[in-house]
Amino acid sequence: MAEKLLGSIEAGGTKFVVAVADFDYNVKELKKFPTTTPEKTLAEAINFFEHFDVASIGVGSFGPVDVKVESETYGHVLNTPKADWSGFDFLETLKVAFDIPMYFTTDVNSSAYGEYTKGSGLGADSLVYFTLGTGVGGGAIQDGKFIGGIDHAEMGHATVIAHPEDTYEGGCPFHSNHCFEGLASGPTLEGRTGAKGETLPRDHKVFDFISYYAGQIAFNTFVNMAPEKIVFGGSVLQGADMPKVREYFKQFNNGYVATPDLEELIVRPSIENNRSATIGNFGLALKVLKE
């Protein structure tokens, strides 16, 4: 008899990462492929899972998506700039292929859950995870549950104050230089310098700006929710940037609120190989299987 496995779909705007693992989250197989049209991309994901005896699947998708189970459009991709994906019924497409339990959420929520259960937030009651990449997103967990009301959080578009020396007009089509994503996403590096972020030296002034915004959003997050862990994932920031992020947090706090050791509060993901979302999806697949 084939081994029962957990499935993970990390649905990014650029690429999909699909994987299966045993119930201890040991990855048995993983595959990456480009995000193209909804039909072609989901067909490739379905074909991957058809080769395994999958008990349940956790899905973390680029957004915006409808994550409210009681909603008529639950499991749909909502109005997105990603060509052809607006209105696509992501979850139902999977359910037609597989009659198994599935958990559907945002990709950053999946990453948050991975770090909360198996990573830097292990043992904590609350965690907020930010990813800084092509876009900026955030997910929050309290006592094992995602924080959200009428919709999932859009923390990447929280308002921030521009660095006094940062004259960049901003990269967000909705908020220009008034939101976190507009000033701290990957494309803003090239927008400021004309060069890809990965080609820039880490002591370039632009990374000081990004650290300033990360420190500011971490301070806002702490005074709003007081989480035990604030995790910064994604490729824009690196471990070497964390001391600056913590220093800017201190400047914004200005001695007002007592905090834990900032080296323990503000951290990078601890799950290796950029697998936070995949591990989180396995955890969510197991969670929905048990419910």
Q: Is the pTM of this model over 0.85?
A: yes
Each residue's pLDDT tens digit, 112-121: 999 999 999 9
Tens of pLDDT, residues 83-100: 899 999 999 999 999 999
pLDDT range class, residue 1, cuts 50, 70, 90: low
CATH of 4-107+273-290, one of 3.40.50.1000, 3.30.420.40, 3.40.50.2000, 3.30.565.10: 3.30.420.40
- Phi and psi at 103, nearest 5°, equal -115, 130
Residue 261 phi, psi dihedral angles, 5° rounding: -55, 125
Check if 4-107+273-290 and 120-270 are the same fold.
yes
Instruction: Return the CATH architecture of domain 120-270.
Output: 2-Layer Sandwich (3.30)
Q: How far apart are the first and last CA of the chain?
A: 24
Domain residue ranges of the chain, discontinuous segments joined by +: 4-107+273-290, 120-270
Q: In the predicted model, is pLDDT for residue 182 greater than 60?
A: yes
Query: For the residues 154-177, what does the mean pLDDT come to?
Result: 94
Question: Using one digit for the tens of pLDDT, what is the confidence trace for 12-26?
Answer: 988 999 999 999 999
What contacts 123, CB < 8 A, 6 or more positions away?
A: none
pLDDT for residue 82: 82
- Residue 86 to residue 38: CA distance in whole angstroms: 10
- List the alpha helices (DSSP H) in 55-179: 90-97, 107-118
